[in-house]
Amino acid sequence: MSNRPISVTIISLVLITSGLAGLAYHATDFKTLHPFPYDWLGIEFVRLLAIVAGAFMLRGSNWARWLALAWIAFHVVISIFHSLSQLAVHCGVFAVFAWALFRPAAREYFRKS
């Protein structure tokens, strides 16, 4: 396996950090008043996916870069229902992820040996 590109390292760390921060932030949303907090579980699951994608991208797993791209694409779709500035930011982040994770150096890194 080739050396990991710095862009993959940065995106992986951003995913892990944002996933952990989101887990911690949304952990306070859990209320025992409702017996089935599906919305809370969904939010925590999405945060967990970010952590998994980041961790496995650091290990060179090709499926993890696709998960990372799907994760940010999901946020683009959700941000359609929010402000235009939030949509623009998520589209920009999606473009950066796509460029960084699919450029030649990253493709070589994720290629199976």
For the chain, which residues make up each domain, given as ranges?
A: 6-110
pLDDT confidence of residue 26? 75
What are the Cα distances from residue 7, in Å, to 63, 96, 100? Answer: 17, 10, 6
Global pTM value: 0.86
Residues of the chain with pLDDT below 50 are 1, 113
CA 84/CA 99 separation, integer angstroms: 22
Token pair 């579980």 is at which residue? Answer: 41
pLDDT confidence of residue 113? 44
pLDDT confidence of residue 89? 96
pLDDT confidence of residue 30? 66
CA 110/CA 42 separation, integer angstroms: 29
pLDDT confidence of residue 39? 72
**What DSSP element (H or E) covers 42?**
helix 38-58
Provide the mean pLDDT of the chain.
90
CA 72/CA 95 separation, integer angstroms: 10
